[in-house]
Structure 1
Amino acid sequence: MDQLGWRVRLPGLPGRGFGKEPAGERLGTCALEEASLVLVPAVAVDRSRTRIGHGAGYYDRALRTLPEGARIVAVINPDELLAKDSLPCEGHDVPIPTVLTADGLVSLVTSTSA
């Protein structure tokens, strides 16, 4: 199965839209092996730390290459943070410890909300 390739985002250049390849230096599929923080897109995340995206598991496979101690933060709208066990969790899913919304940063590890 294919893996995501990564590029350097060039300052001042807008994104080219969902599904379109950005401009910038190609870093290859192993770039996350050196990352300390990854902001990952999501359609929704539940308080069980399950993230749902646009399918195919590409981000989950990429996140498994992160070094120990790297931080994963899913970026969602406030209403996309769902109650515990709202989303199906599959064996390949990488647990999301933190989400960032317009309301702020939420730790799903220390949060006691349902």
Structure 2
Amino acid sequence: MQRPQISLPRTDGYEAEDAKQMLRQLVRTARAHRSERARLLAGARFAEHGLEAVSHARCVAAYVSQGNEPRSYELLEALHQRGVRVLLPVLGPGLARTWGVYTSAADLQVRAPGRPPEPGGEVLPAETISEADAVVAPALAIDAAGTRLGQGGGWYDRVLKHARPGTPVFGMVYGEELIRDVFLPVAEHDVPVDAVITPDHWFLLEGSVFQAQSLGEQAEALTPFADERTEP
């Protein structure tokens, strides 16, 4: 069952990082109410739609979910079984931006507290993402402009500069984390996503119903303020 959309406040007047931290806490609190069974069921549906979204790809850069993040294990295994090369983050010292290749869930190991499990085997440089035909990135929320609210480390935003130009970036979120009524705060290094994967479907942002509805709702919300400014 679709949950009600998460309501996020406007953050005008806040520094971008302060605003992001406030919004992250709101989304994390909402995610904490999702049961383990619901997360497992959603994982299978994320995999179904994720496979459709990247059906063209021979190499995909993705992520290993942890905690309440949209579950990625089923998608990783399905891609691997299809013969797709799957690149996963290997954080290393100081959150180094390196990669490893997925071989199985059993190969994924937690290397340090608080970090997601990582594949064993050869550690590949940041530039290896240039081999990817698509990127599947985690997100806490996504708005109509493609702004992705991440966990706060900036890992994906910084490593994406090594991706091939035009490589599509897919953000994976629950449906209620598609933010229609406000724009998320943006920092200089932020890289927008091109498309969204949810447990119900996947879609390109450009020209989507979500984008059109969001822009319409925000225009309506701003109209009273515009009228007030034009009054004598």
CA displacement at 1:22 relative to structure 2: 1.2
Q: Deviations over 1:67-114 (max 9, x none)?
A: 022111011111111116431011211111101001111221121221
8 Å contact 2:141–2:173 — kept in the other structure?
yes
Please say if 1:92 is aligned against 2:192: no
| Aligned equivalents of 1:13, 1:71: Cα separation in 2 | 29
Which residue in 2 is equivalent to 1:81?
A: 178
| Aligned equivalents of 2:96, 2:174: Cα separation in 1 | 26
Q: Is 34-43 or 16-25 further displaced after alignment?
A: 16-25
Q: 2:137 aligns with which of 8, 30, 40?
A: 40
Q: Which of structures 1 and 2 has the larger relative contact order (alpha carbons within 8 angstroms, sep 6+)?
A: 1
| Aligned equivalents of 1:37, 1:84: Cα separation in 2 | 28
* Percentage of pairs with the same residue: 30
CA displacement at 1:24 relative to structure 2: 2.5
Give me the TM-score of the superposition, normalised by structure 2: 0.45
Which residue in 2 is equivalent to 1:62?
A: 159
In 2 relative to 1, CA 93–85 (structure 1 residues): closer, same or farther, beyond 3 Å? Answer: farther
Residue aligned with 2:162, SS:
coil
Which structure features the higher share of helix residues? Answer: 2
Where does the alignment leave 5 or more consecutive residues of structure 1 unmatched? none
Q: 1:4 aligns with which of 97, 103, 109?
A: 97
Which structure features the higher share of strand residues? Answer: 1
Give me the TM-score of the superposition, normalised by structure 1: 0.85
Which residue in 2 is equivalent to 1:51?
A: 148
Q: Following TM superposition, where does structure 1 have runs of at least 4 consecutive aligned residues deviating by more than 3 angstroms?
A: 14-18
Larger radius of gyration: 2
Q: How many residues align?
A: 114
